[in-house]
Amino acid sequence: MIINGVTIDPTFAEAFPMKGTRIIITAHNAKWAMISAQAFTGFATSVIACGCEAGIERELDPSETPDGRHGVAVLIFAMGGKGLAKQVETRAGQCVLTSPTSALFSGIDGEIEMALGQNLRFFGDGFQISKMIDGKRYWRIPVMDGEFLTQEKTGVVSSVGGGNFLVLAESQAQALAACEAAIEQMRKIPNVIMPFPGGVVRSGSKVGSKYKALNASTNDAFCPTLKGQTNSDLSPEVESVMEIVIDGLSKEDIDKAMRVGIQAVCDLGAENGIRRISAGNYGGKLGPFHFHLQEIMA
């Protein structure tokens, strides 16, 4: 398959089950809602070392938030419900409770629930007050700028992590420009995040390493400086490869995001140095979700 001179490899991205939730952070204005959301989603690129993967889904108009203020929707994913609950509680306590004028709400219903502000209430040292509104419990916690309002619980849903595609280009600048174009379009798709910095990964990995202490190491087959030293998957003209990783609330959500992202890259085309689109997989052994590139772009 070739789109605008760009070859779409006959391969698939391999993804795995995760647990996820959406939270809504609101504040006095859009600036402070975003500051809190950015702090909450910091150091959350990969479960390999961060314990979770998180990102900003979108900004919310006051008409879309529970308290009628500016807000930000955040998605956060982990390998299991217990790990997810710990990450949410720690990040909420350190990054939302501490942030001026902030409030914290659930943004999703699920078959099961986990604590959101349920344990943060103890920061109130006995002065906290609970309120039931439409069958949901909220906590009002006194803080120095007034009070922190938080919903007690949020929903947990089965999700998908690790959807991806690789952009192979003639130069680093062209690969980055293509990924930036892809991310711009992918951020318009609901229910997904691209958790790495700016949505882009330059350090793709393979399973295993020559060093026994490491479970993963550089994906040498796609490293342009190693063409003469390894079993390279790169043709001579490819000098840069970058990856976009996608987490979503469903396989269908990731399908949509990959489709618009790959199309944005192909729109730049071969005339802008884009040679191929490929994907990372582990022979189908990592996870049950397989995103076949040519099927997505058919």
Look up the CATH number of the domain holding residue 41. 3.30.70.520
My answer on whether 180 and 120 are in the same domain is: no
> What residue numbers bound the domain in which 108 lies?
19-157
Q: How high is the pLDDT of residue 95?
A: 98
Buried b (16+ CB within 10 A) or exposed e, 128-160: beeeeeeeeebbbbeeeeebbbbbbbbbbbebb
Does 48 share its domain with 10? no
Residues 209 and 256 placed together within one structural domain of the fold: yes
180 and 272 together in one domain: yes
The residue out of 110, 134, 157 marking a domain boundary is 157
pLDDT at 32 over 80: yes
147 and 232 housed in the same domain: no
The answer, yes or no, to whether residue 285 has pLDDT greater than 80, is: no
Boundary residue ending a domain (120, 137, 157): 157
Pair (287, 183) in one structural domain? yes
**Per-residue tokens: 251:** 């396989």
Longest dimension (CA), the chain: 67
Using alpha carbons, list the distances in angstroms from residue 172 to 59, 133, 167, 214, 274. Answer: 30, 53, 10, 27, 11
83 plus 29 within the same structural domain: yes
Q: Is 191 found in the same domain as 139?
A: no
Query: What distance in Å separates the CA atoms of residue 118 and residue 116, rounded to the nearest whole number?
Result: 6
- Asked whether residue 284 carries a pLDDT value surpassing 90, the answer given is no
One domain for residues 85 and 207: no
Tokens of 257: 């995001």
Same domain, 136 and 26: yes
For residues 122 and 142, membership in a common domain is answered with yes
pLDDT bucket at 286, cuts 50 / 70 / 90:
confident
Confidence of residue 26 (pLDDT cuts 50, 70, 90): very high
E strand or H helix that includes residue 293: helix 293-297
Closest CA to 27 of 58, 63, 72: 72
- Please give the pLDDT value at position 282: 82
Concatenated DSSP letters for 124-142? GTT--EEEEETTEEEEEEE
Q: Chain-wide mean pLDDT for the chain?
A: 97
User: pTM above 0.85?
Assistant: yes
pLDDT digit string, tens, across residues 195-245: 999 999 999 998 889 999 998 899 999 999 999 999 999 999 999 999 999
Domain count, the chain: 2
| Cα torsion through 184, 189, 194, 195, rounded to 10 | 120
Which two structure tokens, joined as six digits, stand for 208? 């295993």
Last residue of a domain, one of 134, 157, 180: 157
Q: Indicate whether 134 and 216 sit together in one domain.
A: no
